[in-house]
Amino acid sequence: MSIDGVVAAGTWRLGDRVVNRMGFGSMRITVRRDRDVAIRVLRRAVELGINHIDTAAFYYSPGGILDGEDGPVRYATELIREALHPYPREMVVATKVGPDPRADGSWGEAISAADLRRQVEENLRRLGVETLDLVNLRLNRDQESFADRFGALADMRREGLIRNLGLSNVRVEHLDLVRDIAPVVCVQNAYAIDLRRHDDVLRECGARGIAFVPYFSIAGPQREAGAHSDPGRRLAWALHQGPHVLVIPGTGDVAHLEENVAAGALELAEDQRR
């Protein structure tokens, strides 16, 4: 399998880096129990030309079911470091903060500046870097402290802990709320051919020169339940929504990864897009 799909999909300037529009989402690499398979998938993604990998502070395997060289590996960020560190110079690893898994298995939210700093520092340590390429603030609930939370990340950006900032699971008004705090280089929202409630966000990001990064572009309304049929056309359709759209299909299987990448070279006629 060649890198034709990655090349054909084109590039986009993501903050201070140019990345290929065909990226990789790391959520599903923690699902399988075979750590070696996860490592192979990540390394194959880089071989195919992918230089934009999406992860999160909260992508993990409960109980540490993936056995690593230094004990159980729980987090996708740890697998990324094991597979790819030291990272290629052109690589961008984008992470997310906000949702906060608790020791009892419940989920909380990183609200305070201290909670957000803890998540950022955990990402730095697990990825093995001094500066995070990109941190997306994930909004799970419409809280009044949204701008303050983004401001806390902007403070860490000024400290040099973060290079670029983005948003996840937001509406157009959230872009306006943080406009004067720090630049937003991307928005990551659920979006697919049959999951289009964020059409307005996609268009507004294009108008503002902000990358739009859809998740669930293959799964659609099935979301975490799994992949939809005809993933190649679904990815191709997403890429055709604008030059600022960056796809991050995730998988824990090398063959599926190669099939997803090949979709970057799939051309759709106008009637097929409609």
Q: Tens digit of pLDDT for each residue in 7-64?
A: 999 999 999 999 999 999 999 898 876 888 999 999 999 999 999 999 998 888 765 5
Determine which one of 59, 60, 75, 87 is catalytic. Answer: 59
What is the rounded average pLDDT of the residues 132-137?
A: 98
Q: In the predicted model, is pLDDT for residue 129 greater than 60?
A: yes
Q: State the total domains in the chain.
A: 1
DSSP state, residue 128 = T
Whether residue 65 lies inside any domain: the answer is: yes
Q: How confident is the model at residue 71 (pLDDT cuts 50, 70, 90)?
A: low
Q: In the predicted model, is pLDDT for residue 141 greater than 80?
A: no
User: What distance in Å separates the CA atoms of residue 25 and residue 12, rounded to the nearest whole number?
Assistant: 17
Whether residue 271 lies inside any domain: the answer is: no
Q: What angle do CA 191, 32, 122 make, to 5 degrees?
A: 75
Q: How confident is the model at residue 113 (pLDDT cuts 50, 70, 90)?
A: very high
Whether residue 254 lies inside any domain: the answer is: yes
| Residue given tokens 């909260």 in the structure block | 58
User: What distance in Å separates the CA atoms of residue 57 and residue 169, rounded to the nearest whole number?
Assistant: 16
Q: In the predicted model, is pLDDT for residue 6 greater than 70?
A: yes
User: What distance in Å separates the CA atoms of residue 26 and residue 41, rounded to the nearest whole number?
Assistant: 10
Whether residue 137 lies inside any domain: the answer is: yes
Q: In the predicted model, is pLDDT for residue 266 greater than 90?
A: no
Considering the chain, what is the average pLDDT of its residues? 89
Tell me which residue range forms the domain holding 217: 4-266
Whether residue 197 lies inside any domain: the answer is: yes
Pick the residue with more confidence: 207 or 110?
A: 207
Q: Give the pLDDT confidence score for residue 232 in this predicted structure.
A: 86
Whether residue 35 lies inside any domain: the answer is: yes
Whether residue 181 lies inside any domain: the answer is: yes
User: What distance in Å separates the CA atoms of residue 163 and residue 133, rounded to the nearest whole number?
Assistant: 5
Q: How confident is the model at residue 267 (pLDDT cuts 50, 70, 90)?
A: confident
Give the largest Cα separation in the chain, rounded.
53
Q: Determine whether 59 is an active site residue.
A: yes
Q: Give the pLDDT confidence score for residue 22 in this predicted structure.
A: 97
> What's the CATH code of the domain at 191?
3.20.20.100
Q: In the predicted model, is pLDDT for residue 118 greater than 60?
A: yes
Whether residue 273 lies inside any domain: the answer is: no
Of 132, 174, 126, nearest to 153 by C-alpha is: 132
Contacts of 86 (CB under 8 A, 6+ apart): none
Q: Give the pLDDT confidence score for residue 106 in this predicted structure.
A: 78
